[in-house]
Each structure stands twice: as C-alpha cells, then as structure tokens.
C-alpha cells in the first residue's frame, strides 16, 4: 500500500500475530532512561520480505532493534519471532533464541579481528549453541563471493568484504529475521545500493525476513515496504 502523501510503501494494518510471520510486532512502545520516546505501528514481516524502519537520528530506531532482538525490553508491546513471544523467555533462553533465530548486521559490522573469516562465521553458530555446518558455511561464502577469504584474518579484509562476512554471519543459523542497524550510513550511493541489494537477495534466498533500521532515504526504493517511527503519545 503506497501512501499518496509521502509516497512510501506502507504495510497493511495487522490484526494479531501470525504464526507464519518471521517477525510480528504489536503495540510496541519504547522508552529510554525511564521516559517513553517512541512507538511503532503494528507490523509483520514474512519470509523473504524486506522492510525499512525509517526515522531520523535519535528517533529510537536502535532502541526498537534492541527490543526486537531481545536485548532491552520494550516499555510495552509484544514481539513474536516465528510465533514465539520473545519477551516471555528468560534471559538465557532469549540469548540463545536470538542467536538461533535473529541475525544481526551492525553499522560497522563488528567482526572479531583476532580470528579468520571462517572462525567469525563459526562463532555465530557456536554462540547460539548450534552445530557448525561447514558445508552451509562454504555455500554461504560461495554465494557471497568471499570463498577465497575463508582463512583470511578478519582484520586483513576490505570494508566491502567485511560487509559480506557480516551478512554470512547473520545468515549462518538460518534465522527467521535479519535486523540491520544503519548499515548504509557511511556508504556512497553505489555502495548503499549494493549492500541493500545483497542483504535483500541473501535474505530472500534464505527465506528470512529483513528489517533495516535507517535514517537513509536512499534505501526506500530497494525494500518491499517501509514503516516509520512514531513519536510517543
């Protein structure tokens, strides 16, 4: 659905969490330092679907990602990932659940410099308590065109290569949804288009939903739908 006023493609209003949805967010209110700062419209992301969470800097996008990834609790609302109410899990289970079902791509990728590209990806499986599927890792490396970097130390690869490693790490555990926080803020137009295309294509191939939190309007044309941060009421 395209908003004629803003020209943005908005998600249809949802009526409740669907068990088939990769991610379902209902009545989400966010707070920082005990003060409500923003709310999110209710939305769902299906497998292979890409959504941009749009808002200016300081509007609470990162706080929203923290709530959706099970890191910091929301003030109010429900978050379901593949039908599981995230905030009903205790901390240990939530950490494990995040590792297994939610892939994260950070603005500066945050690879561990001390180990190789392959070890960075394997760590994501190990931290989530999953067996390391080497064949799958090699397949991801092939698909992301970084197979030749497999044993390369992570601090010796380029920025573009690090992007791809971060995407591979986010996808290794076959997550339900990939959350990307401001992935394009330091990139030029070409690189921005390439990264969003890479994320979108990879998630579609893996059957994962994609939620990109960004203030960068250049990505709008590349995602399926857009939701906007709303001020707290």
Q: Under the rule (CB under 8 A), what is the footprint of another protein?
A: 62, 65-66, 69, 71-72, 92, 95-100, 104, 106-108, 110, 112-115, 119, 122-124, 126-129, 132, 169, 181
What's the start-to-end Cα distance of the chain, in Å?
25
Inter-residue contact 166 to 105 (CB < 8 Å) = yes
Cα(216)–Cα(167) distance, rounded to whole angstroms?
Answer: 19
Write down the least CB distance from residue 151 to another protein, Å: 12
Write down the least CB distance from residue 102 to another protein, Å: 9
Write down the least CB distance from residue 135 to another protein, Å: 17
* Residue 128 or 176 having the CB closest to another protein: 128
* Residue 43 or 97 having the CB closest to another protein: 97
* Residue 20 or 113 having the CB closest to another protein: 113
* Residue 39 or 169 having the CB closest to another protein: 169
Cα(24)–Cα(68) distance, rounded to whole angstroms?
Answer: 9
| DSSP string for residues in 152-189 | SBGGGS-HHHHHHHHHHHHHTT--SEEEEESTTTT--H
Inter-residue contact 220 to 183 (CB < 8 Å) = no
Write down the least CB distance from residue 230 to another protein, Å: 20
């Amino acid at each position: 659905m395209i908003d004629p006023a803003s020209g943005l493609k908005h998600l249809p209003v949802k009526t409740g969490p669907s068990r088939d949805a990769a991610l379902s967010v209902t009545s989400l209110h966010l707070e920082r330092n005990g003060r409500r700062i923003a709310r999110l419209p209710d939305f769902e992301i299906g497998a292979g679907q890409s959504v941009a969470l749009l808002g200016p800097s300081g509007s609470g996008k990162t706080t929203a990602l923290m709530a959706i990834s099970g890191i910091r609790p929301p003030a109010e609302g429900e978050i379901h990932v593949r039908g599981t109410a995230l905030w009903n899990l205790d901390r240990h289970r939530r950490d494990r659940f995040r590792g297994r079902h939610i892939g994260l791509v950070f603005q500066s990728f945050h690879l561990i410099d001390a180990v190789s590209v392959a070890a960075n990806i394997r760590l994501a499986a190990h931290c989530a308590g999953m067996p390391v599927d080497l064949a799958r890792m090699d397949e991801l490396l092939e698909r992301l065109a970084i197979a030749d970097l497999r044993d390369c130390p992570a601090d010796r690869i380029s920025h573009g290569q690090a992007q791809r490693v971060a995407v591979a790490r986010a996808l290794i555990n076959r997550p339900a949804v990939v959350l990307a926080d401001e992935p394009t803020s330091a990139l030029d137009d070409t690189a921005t288009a390439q990264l969003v295309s890479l994320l979108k294509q990879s998630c579609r191939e893996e059957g994962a939903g994609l939620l990109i939190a960004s203030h960068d309007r250049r990505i709008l044309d590349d995602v399926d739908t857009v939701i906007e941060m709303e001020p707290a009421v």
